């Protein structure tokens, strides 16, 4: 190392930004600057692999300034911060899955993600669905099962996804557009509380047919029967309705409910 190089190295040690003014710095000069601030890699032309690695270790965001980083470098950066994925061109499946493992939102940096990646993302973070264009039905269902309000992030949800969301919370119907009468009937079948949003869109006779079908089915969930009993939208005698059309199980639920409310 000559005197001029020693002087330059000393300047860098005093002020790492001095590297910006140096053409073709030696590896030692590069290292001196990078050890102080990994992001200074942006100002070093043709850094050596050793310098690139040092920059990454100092600051994972330096991956943005590494031209053609190795797969190992990419993985290192992603393991430090999932959103460094946005600086990686054409990431491999291994890299994408590593990022999604940390945060489902990483799916936003993946073009045309495979179904398994979509599922991994929404299972990790249900609201990752907002970053998936045209999610497959299995993915939609996984998201709404995780959190019913995921339905508001799905542009064209399947009927099954809509039903799943409404089954969990009738409020989900607020986020569903262009509901047909057939869909309303399906929603009533899964959650009778949706009646509060119906506003005359389905005739009473049709609603009663659905309820006869539900209450006569011995496998109908007890919560559905209790919700029917407590409903204040339908102007019908709930007790007489169950006695006339309900299964033995529905009638037993009614009796239990009455006894409980009398205590």
Task: Give the model confidence (pLDDT) of 33-63 as tens digits.
Answer: 999 999 999 999 999 999 999 999 999 999 9
The residue from 25, 41, 67 where one domain ends is 67
Q: Are 153 and 232 members of one domain?
A: no
**Domain assignment present for 127:** yes
41: containing domain: 1-67
Query: Count of domains in the chain?
Result: 3
Q: Are 174 and 97 members of one domain?
A: yes
Task: Report residue 261's pLDDT band, with 50, 70 and 90 as the boundaries.
Answer: confident
**Domain assignment present for 76:** no
The chain-wide mean pLDDT, for the chain, equals 94
**Domain assignment present for 159:** yes
Burial of 4 (0-12, 13-18, 19+ CB in 10 A): exposed
Cβ–Cβ < 8 Å for 47, 41: yes
**Domain assignment present for 54:** yes
What proportion of the chain, given as a percentage, has pLDDT over 90?
89
Burial of 107 (0-12, 13-18, 19+ CB in 10 A): buried
The residue from 67, 99, 120 where one domain ends is 67
Q: Are 164 and 87 members of one domain?
A: yes
Average pLDDT of the segment spanning 205-225: 96
Average pLDDT of the segment spanning 165-174: 97
Size of the chain, expressed as the number of residues it contains? 263
Q: Are 164 and 97 members of one domain?
A: yes
Q: Are 86 and 171 members of one domain?
A: yes
Q: Are 88 and 173 members of one domain?
A: yes
What is the C-alpha separation between 142 and 120, in angstroms, rounded?
Answer: 10
């Amino acid at each position: 190392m000559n005197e001029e190089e020693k002087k330059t190295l000393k300047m860098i040690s005093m002020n790492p930004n001095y590297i910006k003014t140096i053409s073709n710095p030696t590896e030692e000069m590069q290292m001196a600057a990078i050890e102080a601030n990994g992001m200074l890699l942006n100002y070093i032309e043709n850094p050596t692999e050793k310098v690139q690695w040092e920059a990454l270790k100092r600051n994972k965001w330096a991956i943005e300034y590494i031209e053609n980083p190795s797969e190992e470098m990419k993985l290192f950066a992603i393991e430090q911060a999932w959103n460094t994925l946005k600086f990686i061109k054409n990431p491999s499946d291994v890299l994408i899955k590593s990022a999604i493992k940390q945060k489902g939102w990483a799916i936003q940096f993946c073009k045309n993600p495979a179904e398994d990646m979509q599922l991994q993302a929404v299972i990790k973070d249900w609201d990752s669905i907002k970053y998936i264009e045209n999610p497959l039905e299995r993915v939609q269902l996984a998201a709404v099962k995780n959190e019913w309000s995921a339905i508001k992030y799905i542009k064209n949800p399947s009927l099954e996804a809509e039903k799943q969301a409404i089954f969990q919370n009738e409020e989900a119907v607020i986020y569903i557009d262009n509901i047909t009468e057939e869909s309303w009937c399906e929603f009533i079948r899964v959650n009778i509380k949706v009646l509060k949003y119906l506003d005359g869109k389905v005739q009473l006779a049709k609603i009663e047919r659905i309820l006869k079908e539900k209450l006569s089915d011995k496998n109908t969930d007890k919560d559905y029967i209790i919700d029917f009993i407590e409903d204040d939208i339908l102007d019908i005698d709930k007790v007489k309705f169950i006695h006339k059309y309900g299964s033995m199980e529905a009638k037993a639920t009614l009796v239990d409910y009455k006894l409980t409310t009398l205590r």
